[in-house]
Amino acid sequence: MRAEAALVRQWKIIYMLSNTGGMATVRSLVEQTGASEKTIRRDMQLLRKVGYPLAESINERGQKEWRLASPVNMPVLNFTLEEAAALYLGRQFLEPLAGTFFFAGANSAFTKLRACFGDAVLRHLEKLAAGFYSKTHGLADYSAKGELIDDLVRAIEDRRLTVITYQSLRSTEPVTHYDIHPYGLAWHRHALYLIAWSCDHEAIRTFKVDRISSASTETLQFQRPRNFDLAAYLSGSFGIFQGDGALQKVRVRFTATVARLIQERRFHDSQELTPEPTGALLATYELSSLEEFTSWILSFGQHAEVLEPPTLREKMIAELSASLENYRDGTNASAPRPPGKTKRNARQR
């Protein structure tokens, strides 16, 4: 088995100690992680240093063993019934972790909570849960991509050159192979995205994890820019896609019909709202990419008007005009047209 990246490997060490009666030899950990004895010993010392309750001893065969000891510097985790019930009811929000190496631990914790409650309490909790629903429409299913996500996490941490097999939404090719330097993963609108330097494009690109079918981590390491920060990188985007870095001022007038909807939420950190005497709302944004913003504005239909920049206003006019073509002749779209009768011909009769 290949050597695991540090954080993932250390997480698995804790998992193994937690599920083997709390005892494991260095050799057994070596066999299960693929790391060297020196690496495992260094991991154990680090985990103990940061506060994990680890203790070592010598067994009857003269082998050093590690075990999870009772915490010394931290209290035992005693939950009230209210706290335990709240954690159990929040399990639905961890569903996006399905398929990752974190989900097994979370699922095990919820199983223990179920065992503590008993059938009567569980039935009552399910009734409470029915009053609070987390809509999962459009939620990506990563249950079959656990190994792939683990590979990407290791590549990010170890800063390893990675070759991914990817099929973009607009690609004319079935699949494409890209050499990338993975920088980080971002969770946006129920889906995972990989932010990485693409050697093929010579630029930072965004790859949707759903469209990555494989990832091969190479031995070659890359140097990530010292000043790169994932949050700062995405700060100018309206979602997950970043532009060329240059911020554009965007002004939109929302009608009184949707003004309150806009005021109820902060859609971007740069958002500035100015109410108008008519009840309309003037919204200003500073964005580096307008792709996702365009789709968002279109969703408001007649209740949103782009004032600037001129290029975005022109794009909106073109999009709306093209959409109007689908309804221009007023015919039933599902009804077959006579041969040779196009929409243009119908209008010119």
When pLDDT is averaged across residues 168-194 and rounded to a whole number, the result is 84
Count Cβ atoms within 10 A of the Cβ of residue 155 and give its class: 0-12 exposed, 13-18 middle, 19 or more buried: buried
pLDDT of residue 342: 47
pLDDT above 70: percentage of residues in the chain: 73
Per residue in 53-105, pLDDT (tens digit) is 777 777 767 777 777 765 444 455 666 666 777 777 666 666 656 655 556 66
In a domain, 331, yes or no: no
pLDDT at residue 214 above 70? yes
140 domain-assigned: no
Which candidate, 304, 302, 317, places its Cα nearest to that of 250? 304
Chain segment 120-140, per-residue pLDDT in tens: 777 767 766 666 656 666 667
CA distances 16 to 9, 11, 336, Å, are: 10, 9, 65
Residue at 283 is within a domain: yes
- More confidently predicted of 337 and 24: 24
pLDDT at residue number 1: 35
321-335 pLDDT, tens digit each: 998 888 876 656 555
- Tell me what percent of the residues of the chain surpass a pLDDT of 90: 32
Cα–Cα distance measured from residue 30 to residue 282, given in angstroms and rounded to the nearest whole number:
62
Instruction: Give the residue-averaged pLDDT of 207-233.
Output: 90
Residue type, 145: K
pLDDT, residue 165, reads 93
Q: Which domain holds residue 299?
A: 248-324
- For the segment 244-266, what is each residue's pLDDT rounded down to a tens digit? 768 899 999 999 999 999 999 99
For the chain, give the mean pLDDT.
79
Q: What is the structure's pLDDT at 93?
A: 65
Please report whether residue 134 resides in a domain: no
Q: Are residues 255 and 229 in the same domain?
A: no
Greatest mean pLDDT among 43-57, 115-129, 165-179, 205-219: 205-219
If asked whether residues 265 and 315 sit together in one domain, one would say yes
Q: Domain for residue 191, yes or no?
A: yes
| 262-290 tens-digit pLDDT | 999 999 999 999 999 999 999 999 999 89
| Domain identity same for 170 and 205 | yes
Is 299 domain-assigned? yes
Inside any domain, residue 258: yes
Query: Is pLDDT at 174 greater than 70 in this prediction?
Result: no
- 342/331 Cα distance (integer angstroms): 11
Query: Is residue 73 a part of any domain in this protein?
Result: no
In this structure, the answer to whether residues 274 and 312 fall within a common structural domain is yes
Among 89-98, 137-146, 170-179, the range scoring the smallest mean pLDDT is 89-98
DSSP codes, 102-168: THHHHHHHHHHHHHHH-HHHHHHHHHHHTTS----TT----TT-HHHHHHHHHHHHHTEEEEEEE--
The CA angle 285-286-289, to the nearest 5 degrees, is 105
Q: Does 339 score more than 50 pLDDT?
A: yes
Quote the pTM value.
Answer: 0.63
Give the domain-ending residue among 46, 68, 90.
Answer: 68
Domain holding 51: CATH number?
A: 1.10.10.10
| pLDDT tens digits, 10-38 | 777 777 776 655 577 878 888 877 778 88
Q: What is the mean pLDDT of residues 179-202?
A: 90
Q: How confident is the model at residue 3 (pLDDT cuts 50, 70, 90)?
A: very low
Confidence check: pLDDT of 177 > 50? yes
Considering only residues 300 and 116, tell me which one the structure prediction assigns the higher pLDDT: 300
- Which pLDDT does position 181 carry in this prediction? 96
If you average pLDDT over residues 290-311, what whole number do you get?
Answer: 94
Cα torsion angle, 324, 330, 335, 340, sign: negative
Same domain, 227 and 279: no
Q: How many domains are contained in the chain? A: 4
Higher pLDDT, 308 or 235: 308
- pLDDT (0 to 100) of residue 343: 44
* Confidence (pLDDT) at 211: 92
